[in-house]
Amino acid sequence: MSPATARAYSADVVSLLDHLARMGGVEPADLNLVVLRSWLARLRSTGAARSSLARRSAAARSFTGWAHRTGLLESDPGARLAVARPERHLPSVLRQDQAAALLDVPIGGVVDGAVDDPAERAVALRNRAMLELLYATGVRVSELTGLDLPDVDRSRRVLRVLGKGAKERTVPYGLPADRALEQWLSNGRPRLLTDGSGMAMFLGRRGRRIDPRAVRSVVHHATALIPGAPELSPHGLRHSAATHLLEGGADLRTVQELLGHASLATTQIYTHVSAERLVAVYRQAHPRA
């Protein structure tokens, strides 16, 4: 599990045990199916989304399974816990023309900053390189910010990415992204470089490895400049890249490998996005739709 997932699961288990105490339970052995269902019902009554309930159910099942294996519970009540599948919302994505417009925004303005100041121009070149790489590769924001200089092979135009579960994969990128990287590495990064920069590919204004929140801010401001574009996060650029790959003829297995999905089922949501687009275009264009 990622650190964030581990923290979320721990908080869920604390919430479950607190609910057990409220129901008069004093020992782990008091945890049963009635308590589990009551806990989920209380969470549902407070407005928790189905996706949150599904995650909390998974945390509870993991905990009761462990408690049973270690002898704290005589049986595993979580094994009998039926949970509704989380709703799968179609992600907001850019159209291909909007993605092109996003990456053609001139240096300067909200995204890139004033170009008269050398430090601001360095930030502008960094932002452009990050936007190009996010869309070109579909990497997660944590994967982008975790890149080190040796992870980028510009001779082959590929990234070495460390994804979820410490799984390493190689992701290609195109010539426009390479040109943006060249500008950043030659004319941008040296301006922000400090003794604390280390080997980090992308740096913040103080010379440290850039924070994911800063990348989210860059993407948010960039998409705000594109007329009609949805409000996107870096994950939205990942969704857009995957959708456009499929629209361009890429097969699902290839997209799964590029995105670093453990399961093909995760990648399949993008086929629904493309189908939605297909239906929308058909209804708009066909005279008897």
pLDDT in tens, 41-52: 998 888 887 778
Which residues are CB-neighbours of 272 under 8 A, at least 6 positions away?
A: 88, 90
pLDDT of 165 over the 60 cut: yes
| Average pLDDT of the chain, as a whole number | 84
| pLDDT, average across residues 70-93 | 79
pLDDT of 85 over the 70 cut: no
Is position 239 within any domain?
yes
Question: DSSP strand E in the chain: where?
Answer: 152-153, 158-162, 168-172
Report the CATH number at residue 24. Answer: 1.10.150.130
Query: Of the residues 216, 221, 235, 277, which is catalytic?
Result: 235
Q: Which residue has the higher pLDDT, 165 or 126?
A: 126
With vertex at residue 77, the alpha carbon angle to CA 82 and CA 13, rounded to the nearest 5 degrees, is 90
- Kindly state whether residues 25 and 105 are assigned to the same domain: no
Active site residue 167: no
Which residues are CB-neighbours of 9 under 8 A, at least 6 positions away?
A: 1, 58, 59, 62
* C-alpha dist (Å) from residue 23 to 12, 34, 36, 56, 75: 17, 10, 11, 19, 20
pLDDT of 114 over the 60 cut: no
pLDDT band at 192 (very low <50, low <70, confident <90, very high): very high
Query: Of the residues 95, 164, 209, 221, which is catalytic?
Result: 164
Single-letter residue type at 148 = D
Task: Determine what percent of the chain is predicted with pLDDT higher than 90.
Answer: 40
- Kindly state whether residues 59 and 128 are assigned to the same domain: no
Beta bridge partners of 159: 152, 171
- Kindly state whether residues 21 and 112 are assigned to the same domain: no
Domains: count for the chain: 2
Active site residue 68: no
Q: What is the pTM of this model?
A: 0.67
Q: DSSP readout, 81-138?
A: ---PPPP-PPPP---HHHHHHHHTPPSSHHHH--SSSHHHHHHHHHHHHHHHHHHHH-
Active site residue 216: no
Report pLDDT for 76: 93
- Kindly state whether residues 153 and 211 are assigned to the same domain: yes
- Kindly state whether residues 116 and 239 are assigned to the same domain: yes
Strands 168-172 and 158-162 come out as antiparallel
Contact 72, 28 (CB under 8 A): yes
Q: Which two tokens stand for residue 41?
A: 């019902």
Active site residue 95: no
| pLDDT, average across residues 93-99 | 89
Active site residue 69: no
Contact 192, 172 (CB under 8 A): no
Q: Which two tokens stand for residue 64?
A: 């009761």
- Kindly state whether residues 103 and 232 are assigned to the same domain: yes
pLDDT of 108 over the 60 cut: no
- Kindly state whether residues 152 and 251 are assigned to the same domain: yes
Residue 52 parent element (H or E): helix 50-69
60: containing domain: 3-80
- Kindly state whether residues 204 and 170 are assigned to the same domain: yes
pLDDT band at 110 (very low <50, low <70, confident <90, very high): very low
DSSP 3-state of 263: coil
**Residues 3-37: tens digit of each pLDDT:** 778 888 899 999 999 999 999 988 888 899 999 99
Strands 152-153 and 168-172 come out as unpaired
pLDDT band at 211 (very low <50, low <70, confident <90, very high): very high
pLDDT of 113 over the 60 cut: no
Query: Of the residues 55, 61, 128, 238, which is catalytic?
Result: 238
Query: Of the residues 61, 121, 140, 244, which is catalytic?
Result: 140
Active site residue 244: no
